[in-house]
Structures are given as structure tokens and as C-alpha cells.
Amino acid sequence: MKKTILAIVLAATGLSFCVQRPSASANPLKQKATTNMSDSTTTTATATFGTGCFWCTEAVFQQLKGVVKVTSGYSGGGVDKPTYKQVCSGTTGHAECLNIEYDSSVISFDELLEVFWQTHDPTTLNRQGGDVGTQYRSVIFYHNDEQKQKAEKYKAELDKSGAFNDPIVTTLEAFTRFYPAEDYHQNYYNDNKNTNPYCSMVIRPKLDKFEKVFKNKIKGH
């Protein structure tokens, strides 16, 4: 019922359409591209979202038509070029997040917001599942006033509608700088789905739900 209400509210407002993770070891020999489509004539825009576990939602946004590139990284803190270990300590002010480059003629910021709201829990403060700390906060780093206004509008409408059982705690923060995460975090699900149990136990179920809801927006459909 809650998902039905959420879908209705998102449509009405103009939207069209992790447990603690096991440690990973960086492999400097792997240089995986996060580009999902390339076209030198495409004019891209950028959205930056924090949804807790970037391993989970990177795989979600990579599948969307119109998304050109998804990069996992860190933003919102006061430490330059932070490492994963530093961010995990919760002392840098940074959040794990995704920098999403997209073709706005194919997919809009509104549609990206729709996926954002539905693929993580925006009602748990500084927490996603078993991952706890400000580095896992739900956050939209807006790049301009239009993005800020749209995010504020949809957040207010969702709260008013009761789409979620609890109030939305997603923060809206002005984008300043994005720091890409270490190479082994990039394209994580695709590179590790056959070897890391976390991918099959945590990420794959999330992807299955996403693919059912957003089937018509996935590349290849």
C-alpha cells in the first residue's frame, strides 16, 4: 500500500519516470570504466545522491536509459581526497555517494529523483540497514537552484502524503566537490557478483525489485 501511495504522489508532483559490508582489497591492475554509454555529441547534466551503500545503488543507476556514467565516491565533508578508511571512520563529514552523469534529453532529474526515493530508505537518520554513521546519510547534493527546488518540493509532497511510515530525513546540501572512491569500489556489483556473497545476498535482491518497478526505463528494454 505504501509503495502504491508513493507512486501516486511521485506522479502527482511531476515525476515521470546495507548491512556492514565485508572488506575489499584494491587491485591496482583493474581499471574498470563506469561509463554505460558514450556519445561525443551528448550534452550531459550531473546529479549527486547519497543513498548509504554506494555498492548497492551504483548498480541501480547504471541500468537506467540515459545515464552516461556512474562514479562511486565521497562528498559533503571537509577532508580533501579522503580514503575509504577515513570516510568509514565517520570523522570526515563526507557521505558515500554517487556522481551520476546523464543525458537530460533521455532521462530527467525528476526521474532520477523517483529512483532515488524508491531504492533506499530516506527515513532513517544517518543509517541504511546495518550501516550506521553520517557517512551513510540520505542526501541530495544539488548542483543548482532548480535541482534544490525540485528536491524540496518532492520531499515535502512525499511527507505530506504519508508515502513512508516515518518522516523523510534526507538532507539537501549544496554540491561543492566530489572525490571518486578507490578503483575497487567502481563498477562493484558487475565485477564481484560471482565472487562476493554480499552481491548475491544484498545487492541482487535490491536490483530485482528495482527492475520490476522500472522495467521500461532499463537499458535494453
Containing domain of residue 155, as a range?
44-217
**Predicted confidence band of residue 193 (pLDDT cuts 50, 70, 90):** very high
Q: Is residue 38 part of a domain?
A: no
In this prediction, residues 3-21 reach a mean pLDDT of: 47
In 3D space, the residue among 43, 96, 38 whose CA is nearest the CA of residue 71 turns out to be: 96
Cell of 100: 551520476
- What CATH number is attached to the domain comprising 174? 3.30.1060.10
Contact call for residues 37 and 105 (beta carbons, < 8 A): no
DSSP bridge partners of 97: 73
Per-residue model confidence (pLDDT) at position 220? 83
- Is the pLDDT at 10 greater than 70? The verdict is no
Pick the more confident residue, 8 or 130.
130
**CA dist 114 → 7, 25, 94, 120, 162 (Å):** 9, 33, 24, 11, 16
Per-residue model confidence (pLDDT) at position 17? 37
- CB-based burial label for 40 (10 Å; 0-12, 13-18, 19+): exposed
Residues 218 and 204: their CA atoms lie apart, in Å, by 15
Per-residue model confidence (pLDDT) at position 43? 84
Per-residue model confidence (pLDDT) at position 41? 59
Contact call for residues 20 and 131 (beta carbons, < 8 A): yes
Catalytic residue among 53, 56, 97, 199: 53
DSSP secondary structure letters along 119-147: SS-TTSTTEETTEESGGG-EEEEESSHHH
Residues 149 and 68: their CA atoms lie apart, in Å, by 24
Cell of 25: 582489497
In this prediction, residues 76-81 reach a mean pLDDT of: 97
- Is the pLDDT at 219 greater than 90? The verdict is yes
Q: What is the mean pLDDT of the chain?
A: 86
Percent of the chain with pLDDT over 70: 81
In this prediction, residues 158-182 reach a mean pLDDT of: 96
Q: Is residue 188 part of a domain?
A: yes
**Predicted confidence band of residue 91 (pLDDT cuts 50, 70, 90):** very high
Look at the chain and report how many structural domains it folds into. 1
- Give yes or no: 53 in active site: yes
Q: Is residue 111 part of a domain?
A: yes
pLDDT tens string 20-45: 444 444 443 333 334 344 445 558 99
Contact call for residues 197 and 49 (beta carbons, < 8 A): no
Q: Is residue 17 part of a domain?
A: no
Pick the more confident residue, 7 or 114.
114
**Predicted confidence band of residue 1 (pLDDT cuts 50, 70, 90):** very low
- Is the pLDDT at 181 greater than 50? The verdict is yes
- Is the pLDDT at 127 greater than 70? The verdict is yes
